[in-house]
Amino acid sequence: MKPLLASLLVLLLAPSMAGAAPETRVPTVAASAASAGAVADFDAVLQPVRQVTITAQVGGNVLALRVKAGDTVKRGQALVRIDDRDMRAGVARSDAAVAQAEAEARNAEVALARNRDLQKSGFVSQAAVDTASTQHQAAQAGLAQARAARTQATVAQGFAELSAPFDAVVLATHVEAGDLALPGRALVTLYEPGRLRAVVQVPASRATAVAAAREVQVQLPDGRSLKPVARELLPAADPVSQTVEWRLDLPAEANVSRPGQTIRVIASGMQAPAVAATPRPNIPAEAVLRRGELTAVYVAQGDGFVLRAVRVGPAAAGRVDVLAGLAANERVAIDAVRAGLQGARPAAN
């Protein structure tokens, strides 16, 4: 019976023994409190450097909307057509007014010449000549006024067909065919692709220090890190939020085509005490796990690891500063990939 019981015990324990994950010991390192200069981390928004909103200059129904959001358009390409029947009628009225003014001007000119000839012969007085001259001047002024009105009517008719002012991408459309377009109503918003900037709202108390940062990096959603080609700190602060807008122009070759995305801006090398250079946890770069938009580390906790999201600064000499999510002296796995395996345990130090 004893051999039988032993065999049954082995059979019962075999599944659990087979399912047990092999133990993996992963070395850890303590986050050191290193301060190699003040570092500031900000959220920013991608904005086009050149963006315009096409608005209606005249009133009328929208007959055709020729583009949609996301379309690429060339300079001079038609975007919106507004009903111009009333404007065409205005041009016709102005043409008729010009013809009438020209006839009156010719009649006044002939009358003035006749009165001058009669005055030389003594048949009319100087007063009659003066009256004819005044009427001629009035007729000339009326003709100039009629021609100006025709020009104005022609310009207004040109506003019925709105076109792109430069090569652009359609960011948004604000009307549909059949809508009533009143003067000043937004129709289409365009932006120039390839010229984007990161816009940061910096606390006013830190604006001077941030502007003097020796190095600035813009981290895009796809993981790329770019150095801005130009920086501009606006001179005035917002009276409500007490922030100053900081504009960082990105290089044209960045090939970023989605304005409105939230990105990160990291400024380093600022002078204390304008920004307190408090020591930040510093860890090896390979200890950071990056999966899509997740940036995390495996923190040793008890006899295992806990995945914790962190925010890190730019890598330098194989190490990174942890801006948020980790305290100094906490131990993290040096190999973030192995620490994520089942059965991973902190190695004895």
- Is 0.95 topped by the overall pTM? no
Packing angle of the helix pair 85-121, 126-158 (nearest 10 deg): 160
pLDDT, position 213 = 86
| Architecture of domain 39-49+196-270 in this structure | Beta Barrel (2.40)
Task: Answer yes or no: is pLDDT of 110 > 60.
Answer: yes
Could you tell me the pLDDT band of residue 10, with boundaries at 50, 70 and 90? Answer: very low
Task: Answer yes or no: is pLDDT of 345 > 50.
Answer: yes
Query: For the segment 154-176, what is each residue's pLDDT rounded down to a tens digit?
Result: 988 888 999 999 999 999 999 99
Pairing of strands 344-346, 168-173: unpaired
The arithmetic mean of pLDDT across residues 124-147, rounded, is: 92
Query: For the segment 287-297, what is each residue's pLDDT rounded down to a tens digit?
Result: 888 887 788 99
The single-letter DSSP state of residue 236 is E
Could you tell me the pLDDT band of residue 39, with boundaries at 50, 70 and 90? Answer: confident
Instruction: At 253, list the tokens.
Output: 């070759």
H or E segment at 40?
A: strand 38-48
pLDDT, position 13 = 42
CATH topology of domain 22-35+279-346: 2.40.420
Task: Answer yes or no: is pLDDT of 335 > 70.
Answer: yes
Task: Answer yes or no: is pLDDT of 9 > 50.
Answer: no
Residue type for position 161: E
Residues 298 and 336: beta-carbon distance below 8 Å: yes
Q: Which CATH number fits domain 58-82+160-191: 3.30.9.10, 3.30.1050.10, 2.40.50.100, 3.90.226.10?
A: 2.40.50.100
More confident site: 259 or 191: 191
Round the average pLDDT of the chain to a whole number and report it: 84
Burial 12-23 (b: 16+ CB within 10 A, else e): eeeeeeeeeeee
Task: Answer yes or no: is pLDDT of 277 > 70.
Answer: no
Cα–Cα distances in angstroms (integers) from residue 242 to residues 44, 201, 202, 205, 207, in the given order: 16, 9, 9, 9, 11
pLDDT, position 34 = 59
* Percentage with pLDDT > 90 across the chain: 38
pLDDT, position 18 = 45
Dihedral angle computed from the Cα positions of residues 150, 154, 157 and 159, in that order, rounded to the nearest 10 degrees = -130
When mean pLDDT is compared over 145-149, 271-275, 337-341, the highest value belongs to 145-149
Q: Find the length of the chain.
A: 349
Percentage helix, strand, coil for the chain under 3-state DSSP, each rounded to 5 = 30, 40, 30
The arithmetic mean of pLDDT across residues 55-60, rounded, is: 91
Could you tell me the pLDDT band of residue 15, with boundaries at 50, 70 and 90? Answer: very low
Task: Answer yes or no: is pLDDT of 38 > 80.
Answer: no
Q: Which residue blocks in 159-234 are alpha helix, DSSP H?
A: 207-211
Query: For the segment 216-250, what is each residue's pLDDT rounded down to a tens digit?
Result: 888 887 778 889 999 999 999 988 888 999 999 99
Cβ neighbours around 336 below 10 Å, total: 21
Range scoring the smallest mean pLDDT among 32-36, 240-244, 281-285, 299-303: 32-36
